[in-house]
Chain A
Amino acid sequence: MLFGLALPRLVKSIVILDSTAGRFRLQPIARSPRPIRGVAALRHHAFEVGSCYTDPRDLRTDRFRRLSLNSDEISRHVATTADLVGINIEPEWMPNVVRFFEIARGMAADVIGSGALTDAESAAVFTPRTTE
């Protein structure tokens, strides 16, 4: 189990307590994307996918662990959820479904790492209509 404690930004590092190994270690924090101020900033702005995983917010909310299921755990999730929603998946097709789910999980890790879960208004998915 990992626990994280963010130190002041000046330190630019994070203390990781690895309870299973029973030791502390220091790990650099990848800088979060800076606010965009004009296109000039964009030209020099290369935000690498994956830098989000050392964002303290991810450690606080335990997102990192949840997105790090192994293949067996994913297979169990897929089988359980398939039962729940009433979909029959033949054993021979399970590896393919798990493969596609793994791809989606990687995509979700990228998106959730943006902090969008808490910071942004959702795009509209419903538009009320007038009734006459």
Chain B
Amino acid sequence: MKGNVPASAAAIADAVRSGASSAVEVAEAALDAIAANDGAVGAFTTVTADRALRDARAIDLKRRNGEQVGPLAGVPYAVKDLFDIEGVVTVAGSKINQARPPAERDAILIERMTTAGAVLLGGVKMGEFAYDFTGENAHYGPSRNPLDASRMSGGSSGGSAAAVAAGFVPLSLGSDTNGSIRVPSSFCGLYGLKPTYGRLPRTRTFPFCDSLDHLGPFARNVADLALCYDALQGFDEGDAACVSRPAAAVSTELAKGLDGLRVAVAGGYFRRDAEPQALAAVDRAAHAAGAREEIDIPDVARARAAAFLITNAEGSALHLDNLRQRAADLDPDTRDRFRAGAMLPASWYIAAQRFRRKFEETMQKIFEEFDVILAPSTPMSAPLLGQKTMLLGGREVSLRPNIGIFTQPISFIGLPVAAVPVREAGQMPFGVQVIASPWREDLCLRVAAVVEAAGLSLPTPLAT
């Protein structure tokens, strides 16, 4: 099976547990696929081949000894390079961080993946310091979209999406501050999960905007996404924002289907400026999910504006020393946004944080009447690499800040969202956000599974 990695994480784990395949065979196949094809995709920054083979051998040994090997036994995966990997410098898409010492310990979520039997293959590209929706990077080059190499993979978790869409790994981990899991999922035709803010600990990952940073998985199908998410759950005191609450397994919930769930479609703001195909994708998903009503959520534009301000202010504050001492080493697109953010009056930031509570109250009232809301992930499909502007509601606007207009208002108040790809033959995919109330990732994934079962997502072709 060299160079041919099974598309399903669950299938790999079953095969490894049963002895039909070995973890080493799977790891070697994935490493071969990366060596053969990542030159054209550009997903990886670091391939941890020695570690992968060591871990795979350990899993095979445990299986032969009759020990438990975990729900993700032998499943290869990759992480956005803002996750600490022991012995590897956490560059977070930057040139500046190259001067940091190698990480002394894995990020907590990598440790949990290891406990579940997964095999880490390395770190993947991201937009500089995660301030990005494109997947482009001035220092390391872009991670290309495996469905069309001339197009963006999306950002900032572009490498995480590209690695899965290219077939190098069936799972990857990324981060989402304003849409950085949902946008690449949309552009690359994948499933992604941005859990509730505070659900997954961010311990030993490089931050961007503490108020809004989330971590989550990518996969090619909903079952794998749920399997991975279940392995990641649990409190960790290393992240002050992580909430201590019991893990809520979702894999066992998928079979419940809709079972009376009240599903609505977000109208107004969410239908005003999107391309017709993006809206058609939402409508197809809505039909499959039995959505009957369209709701106009108030103040969404303000929520997006407030998310913008919080991100700009907190990100700039984090990098103030870099702006003072290493400005020439920042990507110009990132640098000048950080510079502007360093000038924002504190009252603007505080107003944005206060509005966050107000918008949360608005959404809570909506969730009294609906369980799940569907909305487009992006207003368009994957733009061309190097593209600087886009049409939004008939007006030409800057591309970078506007790709995330539909994702920013949702992560602003930390709601859980599953990103679901909808794709017709001959088209690039469009993503649909499946949004639920806080801590109800199970509902997001149940509806995602229903849409998946309706056959709206063409299988992602593999690069191999």
Contact = CB atoms under 8 A, between A and B. Distances in A.
Nearest to A123: B356
A44 to B, nearest CB: 8
Contacts of B240: 127, 129
A39 B341 contact: no
A57 B365 CA distance: 26
B355 interface: yes
A20 interface: no
Given A36-B365, A46-B268, A108 B351 contact: yes
B366 A97 contact: no
B86 interface: no
B298 A47 contact: yes
B204 interface: no
> How many A residues touch the partner, as a band?
35 or more
A117 B298 contact: no
Contact of A122 (B302, B332, B353): B353
Interface string A78-121: 10011001111100010011111101101110111110110111
Nearest to A39: B369
A39 B301 contact: no
Interface in B386-406: 401
A82 B394 CA distance: 36
Interface string B327-361: 10000100111011111110110111111111010
Nearest to B365: A36
Nearest to B340: A100
B296 A45 contact: yes
A10 interface: no
Contacts of B332: 93, 96
B365 A38 contact: yes
B296 A107 contact: no
A97 B336 contact: yes
A112 B347 CA distance: 9
> How many B residues touch the partner, as a band?
35 or more
A111 B339 contact: no
Q: Is the interface of B mostly helix, strand, loop or mixed?
A: helix
A81 B342 contact: yes
Interface string A32-65: 0100101100111111010000000000000000
Contact of B324 (A86, A93, A122): A86
Contact of B353 (A49, A110, A125): A125
A17 B401 CA distance: 39
Given A46-B296, A49-B301, A78-B343, A117 B241 contact: no
A33 B360 CA distance: 16
B397 to A, nearest CB: 10
B297 interface: yes
B343 A116 contact: no
Given A104-B348, A122-B350, A127-B241, A114 B358 contact: yes
Contact of B351 (A93, A111, A129): A111
Given A43-B295, A46-B268, A100-B340, A110 B301 contact: yes
B294 interface: yes
A107 B306 contact: yes
A78 B370 contact: no
Contact of B308 (A96, A104, A120, A123): A104
A31 interface: no
A12 interface: no
Given A49-B302, A103-B401, A107-B305, A121 B362 contact: no
A45 B301 contact: no
A82 to B, nearest CB: 7
B343 A43 contact: no
16 contacts: A33-B298, A38-B365, A39-B293, A42-B298, A87-B342, A93-B336, A97-B336, A97-B343, A100-B337, A100-B339, A103-B308, A116-B355, A119-B358, A120-B354, A120-B357, A122-B353
**Which 5 pairs between the two chains have the least Cβ-Cβ distance?**
A100-B340, A107-B305, A116-B355, A123-B356, A110-B305
